[in-house]
Amino acid sequence: MKDDAQPSPVFSSLLSDLAPGGIAHAYFTRKGGVSEGIYHGLNVGLGSDDDKAHVEENRRRVAAYFDAGPEKLATVHQVHSPTAVIVDSRYDGARPEADAVVTATPGMVVGVLTADCGPILFADPQARVIGAAHAGWKGALGGVLESTIAAMISLGATRENIVASLGPSISHRNYEVGAEFIARFVETDPSYAAFFSPSEREGHAMFDLPALTLKRLTDAGVRAENLDICTYSDEERFFSYRRTTHRKEPDYGRQISAIFIREE
């Protein structure tokens, strides 16, 4: 088992401002884990074909970053849905099919796994309610961001106090799509044509998933930012499903983005 030093995350400026109030977050890179080969580093993907002992150790390191035990790290079985679930002190490690996790329980770490899709971390510092959402194109279009906000509000958050930050994800520069993909979005909302720009291939376009995500967040009434870090182009720090697909590799790792409420 090779040790790749310690986790080396990146951070949101919006969420970093909340640290004095006891809310900590991290967009973990692939650095700081024990996985090897194509999974080299901090692969936390339970659904990958990586050595499960390596994945569990990597998840333990993520929890330990927040001074929590691995049993306090709550993630879900992601299926590109609009579903958000709420967890509390009764969390038993189950991974229901969903794409967002919300809590108001201090000591719980909630996180989502990504490898090009958008990881969005949420917080209401006044109500001390947090959330994490996984939004690829299906989730963003289907309403996972709005579902996350609604779940937070059900725990006492207020829309005007929620801040959201989009972490490392694929940029429009590396996300080429075909005509059927474009039509699906324009049929949903003609204004969504603005998220596509010409590519070098006829009948194709470059898709700006981060811009769509930010629009959905701001339209939902929350303050939002984009870290503008591309997972596809930064192989040293991030896993990428699309990069793996282009190389015809057999599998890929997943990084995690997580947020935590410290106990008072």
Contact yes or no for 197/172 (Cβ under 8 A)? yes
Give SS3 for 18: coil
Measured between alpha carbons, how far is 138 from 129 in angstroms, rounded to an integer?
A: 25
Tell me the per-residue pLDDT of 195-225, one tens digit each, with 9 for 90 and over: 999 999 999 999 999 999 999 999 999 999 9
Sequence length of the chain is 264
Contact yes or no for 259/121 (Cβ under 8 A)? yes
Classify residue 3 by its DSSP letter. Answer: -
Measured between alpha carbons, how far is 227 from 81 in angstroms, rounded to an integer?
A: 23
Reduce the secondary structure of 99-138 to three states and give it as a string: CEEEECCCCCEEEEEECCCEEEEEEECCCCEEEEEEECHH
Q: Name the pTM for this structure.
A: 0.97
Share of the chain above pLDDT 70, in %: 98
Give SS3 for 254: coil
CATH topology of domain 13-171+208-261: CNF1/YfiH-like putative cysteine hydrolases (3.60.140)
User: Can you say how many angstroms the Cα of residue 197 is from the centroid of all Cα atoms in its chain?
Assistant: 25
Contact yes or no for 82/72 (Cβ under 8 A)? no
Residue ranges per structural domain of the chain: 13-171+208-261
Tell me the per-residue pLDDT of 56-79, one tens digit each, with 9 for 90 and over: 999 999 999 999 999 999 999 999
Mean pLDDT taken over the chain: 96
